[in-house]
Structures are given as structure tokens and as C-alpha cells.
Amino acid sequence: MLRTTPFHARTAALCASHAWRRWAGYVVASSYELSHDREYHAIRSAAALLDVSPLCKYLVAGRDAARLLDRMVPRDVSRAGIGQVLYTPWCDAAGKVLDDGTIARLDETVFRVTAAEPGLRWLEANAAGLDVSIEDTSDATAALALQGPSARDILERACGADLAGLRYFRLTAARIAGHPVTISRTGYTGDLGYEIWLDAADALPVWDALVAAGTPYGITPAGMLALDVARIEAGLMLLDVDYVSARKALIESQTSSPYELDLGWTVDLGKETFVGRDALAAEAARGPAWRFVGIAVDWDSFERLFAEAGLAPRVPLAAWRTSVPLYGDGGQVGYATSGVWSPLLKQYIALAHVEARPAAPGPAREREGTREHRRRRAAAHVVKKPFFDPERKRA
């Protein structure tokens, strides 16, 4: 049976659309209202409250906790200060990405790891001989994301603390409605935002306190459809959608290295050892075979395509998650994995893998799509991601 999250009593009552989505064995709202439109706009213009409890969470503690994580991921965990959060992928020995998530240093010897997929076995496999305890806290820890330009004002009201000093990818302990929580300045929207980690037993009073504090600021519960639009605008990839975990890949071409996912910045080859290091060092030397890029569909070309059939253009208001071919000179040069119409940017955008053939920085591409039952191609360009990157995200 599917499980419900600790916030279900609240989210179910709000879910007028009756639209639910499965996430890691849980059900979460796709959208609360009949359309996800307003929920999306809340992320960018006010604040959205998202139930992200289904994330896999592990507490890694002990003298060798930092050593374990440093050995497991390509980023340098040893240098992370207390209260710092690192976003990182982790790889198998071939340097292919298994999963991506965050590592939060709660204390000198205590870390919280979040992952899209269950990762207990992989953590344990890498912990051989180390003085460390690994606890799966996925069910015991509830999580909320409060994202949007008003998120700080709301959270400050809810926890009675000044959060101006809490920098991007840092965390702090706080209390909401008397219950202890951890607040990290992180999120999956590319906007000003926070994630709130708490004991599942305290879920409802914390939700209520946030909603009460946020109502004058326009806090809006938001579901996964709204989040999907925002994360594509933010250029953030999603496991099983934009890449396949090396753990599940059936053939090698299904796997991706951090370099191929535009995550080269997370790979610290200066580290003496970590899983996949040798393979990644070799790849760094020869250059990755693929690039993970942002694509914008050329509007005039897209409009013309529909006009030929006597129609007005139809843009995808909800994100699609299928593989869509991209063409360059002489055939297919890649594929887009998720895309959506950005209501904010008035642009049709997509995340895509393109072959990293002889240094070609942003040439014209053609993207295939279905127009009136037939596959057609519209012009598209490689553009910088994130597509939308407001200063407030880090400020």
C-alpha cells in the first residue's frame, strides 16, 4: 500500500483537485487547486509550502562520519563547516552517478544525508571498517519546503528568529510552535527558500504555525506540478527523469557521469580517494561525451509550425518527462528529458543532453515535437541555465 506523509491530514483536506502523485512509495499532492498555475506563481511571487517528506533521509554519526561521506561523494565533505549543506551527486566505481542529494553537517560528527532513492545499503557498503552509525530516518523525519520571495519573512515570524544571517546552503536550529526544527536555506525551486526538517510527530502543529504566519503574506500550499515547472526553470535535474541511476541502468549508455550532467563543479579531483575517482580523473582528462544543457524553443519557428496546420501554438503548461530528440547538422545530436512552458519567462524551455562533439557552444538545434498528431521540428537554442536565477536566491 502507498503511504501518506505526516502532513496528510492537512494536505488531504486542501486537495480540491483530488490529484495525487506517487513519490518514493508515498502519495503527495500533484496540485491542490484545480490547476497548478497559482501554486507555481506563489513560488515566484509570494511563498509556496511544499510537503517534501518522501525524500530519503539518513543520519550518519560517529567519529568517522565525515570520512565515510568524503569517501562516498566527489565533493570535499571534510571541508564542510558545521551548519553547512552540500549538494552533491555520488557515483559507482565507474564514475557513473547513482543518485544526487544533500549532505548537511549538523555537528562535527553528525550528518544528515538526503537522497532521491533509498541509499542505506550503499552507505553501509562504504562504511566497512569505519566507526560510524547509519540510521534511516526517512519515516521519522518530516520535511517541508517553504519557497519564494516571502519565505524569509514568513519563517522569521513562525520561528521568532532573525534569519537574515542564514546564508545560502547553511542551516540553523530553531523552534516552530515550540517544536524543535532544523531550517536549511535550500530548495528545489531556484528561488529564495528554506527546507524545514522536523520530527514526524510534530508535523501538524508546525504546518499550522507556518500557514498561520504565512497567510498575510500569501503562503500557498503547492504540489508537485508547480514544483516541476520551477525546478526546470532553475535548471535542476531529477533522477529517473533527466538521468538514470547507474544502479538501475541496463546498458552503459544509460548511465551518466557528473561531468555529463553539468556537475563537474562537484568533483574534487584534489581529494585523494573517493568512489569513482579514477574513472572521473580519466574522463576529466579526455573530456565528457555529453553535456547537460538548457534549451529554449524559438517562438517564431514554433508558432509557424502550428500556423501551417491552421492552429494557434499549444504550449505545455505542465512539465513533460519524455525523451524528445534534438537535431543538429547531420542528424540527431541529443535528447531533451524534461520541458515546460515557463509562465514567468514566456518561453518554452527544456533540459537536454547533447553530444559534446567538437566544442560547439550554443549552436542552433532543432527540437522535435508533436503537432496535430505528426512529429515536426521547431528551431531551438542552447541557452544558459538556470533559465531563471533571481538574486534573492543567494542574497
Binding site for other proteins (CB under 8 A): 34-35, 37-38, 41, 44-46, 150, 216-218, 299, 310, 312-313, 315, 317, 341, 343-348, 388
Q: Residue 255 — left, alpha, or beta (φ > 0 → left; ψ -120 to 50 → alpha)? A: beta
Q: What is the DSSP string of 164-232?
A: TT--TTBEEEEEETTEEEEEES--SSSSSEEEEEEEGGGHHHHHHHHHHHHGGGTEEE--HHHHHHHHH
Among residues 257, 251, 225, which one has the least CA distance to residue 100? 257
Contact 73, 79 (CB under 8 A): no
CB count, 10 Å around CB of 240? 11
CB 278 to other proteins: min, Å: 41
**Nearer to other proteins by C-beta: 38 or 112?**
38
Distance of closest approach, residue 390 Cβ to other proteins, in angstroms: 8
Reduced to 3 states (helix: H, G, I; strand: E, B; else coil), residue 362 is coil
- Cβ proximity to other proteins, 62 vs 218, nearer residue: 218
Tell me, rounded to whole angstroms, the distance of Cα 274 from its chain centroid.
Answer: 23
Least distance (Å) from other proteins to the CB of residue 236?
18
At 20, list the grid cell. Answer: 495525487
Instruction: Decide whether 52 or 340 has the Cβ nearer to other proteins.
Output: 340
Give min distance, CB of 360 to other proteins, in A.
23
Considering beta carbons, is residue 115 or 295 the nearer one to other proteins? 295
Least separation in angstroms between residue 45's CB and other proteins is: 5
Q: What is the dihedral of CA 114, 120, 126, 132, to 10 degrees?
A: 80
- Between 44 and 291, CB nearer to other proteins: 44
Crossing angle of helices 224-233 and 37-45, rounded to 10°: 50
For the bound state, the minimum distance from the C-beta of residue 220 to other proteins, rounded and expressed in Å, comes to: 10
CB-wise, 141 or 342, nearer to other proteins?
A: 342
